[in-house]
């Protein structure tokens, strides 16, 4: 079509819809790049720019105004929820490739020792996480498809949302409908977990926290609800000072999040419990402070977790898991997600002994298998890799649950849907002690 980029997109069965550059048949995304040095944009690292054009780009970067606006807000404090481990100050995130290379660089004896340690720790701290698949009566209007047909409906997502809310109800967080607090959804995306919550339980004050901009959000239908106040904050959870949000002053709130990827879970826990873990008496001045009444977070993407952000590094160290071990553990978790989930697997399904004898270790460290640890991993049974991955996910979330108990909350860790619906099926549920 005239006025469009001439690159054909086979998956979409059409040409690219972007406007082409001057004197080029292609848009900026599809024109061959210059041989100059491309570097990540300091304002938004999700895109890159030629180093020679950096100065002019910084004046017109699409996120510039958003960043300037945020920096002036009272609820913005750079890195407030990032973590304070002194050993990792100035350390960049450890990528999955770096984690994999570190594991492959181990000797077979070191790898065997780590696997044995993971199995031993899991056996001592992680009793089988209970199944808690809920479909509460209150969510019937969604599970029975009695909602506005214009609202998007995908059964697996509705089942997950209903079970999250059902677990909150069973845990006693939603039992008193006459004193419902505000709800804060972290990593809200399009906001449809909150949509179900307000439709089924009648919340009247909603705060959606999301760093990205989304189309087709639930905001439009939420704003049409009589008596409901909605605020969306476009901010990274890492930088959110929740008690400084004006609309939450003096309000008890419920914190929820569905599939908070990797460190976003840790940052959310830190954001919600910061006052408690610093010993501040938040209930003494309810007129100026918001305070947490309940929490439900469906954890996700454990392979992205970082030592410098993790909420309970002391817990890991007490278990004998060092920073290097932790990053290996997080890399192993991807094996759980990559597994065949036509049957419901878990960390107790390991069918073979993953320990390697001293004699085999010596042989493999020699010339018998030049690939060493990489060769062992490639030859592991799929079910054993998946079982080890689930063990590692359990250990990471057990540390998070221990943190919530340390700051005085009642909590539990459950599987809220079968892994056949989603392998990311861990749910942390917590409430203030009565």
**What is the rounded distance in angstroms from the CA atom of residue 236 to the CA atom of residue 230?**
18
Under the phi-then-psi rule, with left for phi > 0, alpha for psi from -120 to 50, and beta for the rest, what region is 196?
alpha
**What is the rounded distance in angstroms from the CA atom of residue 162 to the CA atom of residue 140?**
9
Contact 233, 207 (CB under 8 A): yes
Contact 237, 264 (CB under 8 A): yes
Q: Is 328 inside a domain boundary?
A: no
pLDDT at 282: 43
Q: Is 63 inside a domain boundary?
A: yes
Q: Is 41 inside a domain boundary?
A: yes
Contact 349, 386 (CB under 8 A): yes
Domain count, the chain: 1
**What is the rounded distance in angstroms from the CA atom of residue 239 to the CA atom of residue 242?**
9
Backbone angles phi, psi at 351, to 5 degrees: -95, -10
Helix axes 372-379, 96-104, angle to 10 degrees: 110
Q: Is 65 inside a domain boundary?
A: yes
Q: Is 138 inside a domain boundary?
A: no
The answer to whether the Cα torsion of 348, 326, 100, 39 is positive or negative is positive
**What is the rounded distance in angstroms from the CA atom of residue 332 to the CA atom of residue 392?**
7
- Which whole-number Å values give the CA distances from 393 to 300, 338, 396, 418, in the listed order? 9, 13, 5, 15
Instruction: For residue 58, give its domain range.
Output: 8-71
Q: Which residues contact 144 (CB under 8 A, 6 or more apart)?
A: none
Rounded average pLDDT per 10-residue block, the chain, 434 residues: 81 86 80 72 80 85 83 92 69 88 94 95 88 93 84 88 95 76 93 93 92 87 90 94 89 92 95 70 50 93 95 95 96 86 55 45 46 88 91 96 94 93 94 83
Q: Which residues contact 152 (CB under 8 A, 6 or more apart)?
A: 192, 216
- Model-level pTM greater than 0.85? no
pLDDT at 340: 65
Q: Which residue has the tokens 């040095």?
A: 37
Q: Which residue has the tokens 């410098």?
A: 308
């Amino acid at each position: 079509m005239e006025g469009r980029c001439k690159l054909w997109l086979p998956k979409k069965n059409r040409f690219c819809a972007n406007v082409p550059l001057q004197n080029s048949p292609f848009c900026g995304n599809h024109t061959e790049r210059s041989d100059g040095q491309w570097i990540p944009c300091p304002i938004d690292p999700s895109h890159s720019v030629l180093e020679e054009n950096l100065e002019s780009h910084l004046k017109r970067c699409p996120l510039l105004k958003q960043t300037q606006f945020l920096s002036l807000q009272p609820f913005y404090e750079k890195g407030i929820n990032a973590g304070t481990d002194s050993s990792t100050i100035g350390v960049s995130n450890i990528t999955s490739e770096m984690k994999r290379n570190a594991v492959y660089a181990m000797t077979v004896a070191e790898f065997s020792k780590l696997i044995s340690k993971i199995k031993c720790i899991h056996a001592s701290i992680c009793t089988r996480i209970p199944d808690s698949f809920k479909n509460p009566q209150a969510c019937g209007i969604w599970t029975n498809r009695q909602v506005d047909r214009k609202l998007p409906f995908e059964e697996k997502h509705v089942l997950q949302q209903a079970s999250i809310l059902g677990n909150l109800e069973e845990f006693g967080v939603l039992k008193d409908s006459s004193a419902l607090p505000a709800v804060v959804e972290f990593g809200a995306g399009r906001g449809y977990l909150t949509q179900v919550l307000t439709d089924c339980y009648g919340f009247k004050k909603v705060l959606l926290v999301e760093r990205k901009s989304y189309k087709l959000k639930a905001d439009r239908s939420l704003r049409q609800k009589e008596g409901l106040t909605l605020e969306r904050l476009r901010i990274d959870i890492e930088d959110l000072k929740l008690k400084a949000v004006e609309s939450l002053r003096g309000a008890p709130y419920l914190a929820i999040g569905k599939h908070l990827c990797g460190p976003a879970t840790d940052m959310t826990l830190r954001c919600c419990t910061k006052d408690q873990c610093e010993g501040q008496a938040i209930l003494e001045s309810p007129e100026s402070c918001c305070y947490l009444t309940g929490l439900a977070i469906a954890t996700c993407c454990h392979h992205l977790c970082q030592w410098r952000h993790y909420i309970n590094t002391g817990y890991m160290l007490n278990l004998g898991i060092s920073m290097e071990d932790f990053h290996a553990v997080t890399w192993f978790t991807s094996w759980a997600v990559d597994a065949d989930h036509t049957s419901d697997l878990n960390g107790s399904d390991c069918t073979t002994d993953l320990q390697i004898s001293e004699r085999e270790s010596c042989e493999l460290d020699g010339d018998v298998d030049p690939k060493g640890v990489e060769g062992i991993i490639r030859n592991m049974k799929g079910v054993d890799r998946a079982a080890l991955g689930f063990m590692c996910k359990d250990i990471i979330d057990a540390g998070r649950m221990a943190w919530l108990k340390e700051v005085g909350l009642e909590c539990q860790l459950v599987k809220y849907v079968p892994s056949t619906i989603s392998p990311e099926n861990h749910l942390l549920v917590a409430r203030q002690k009565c």
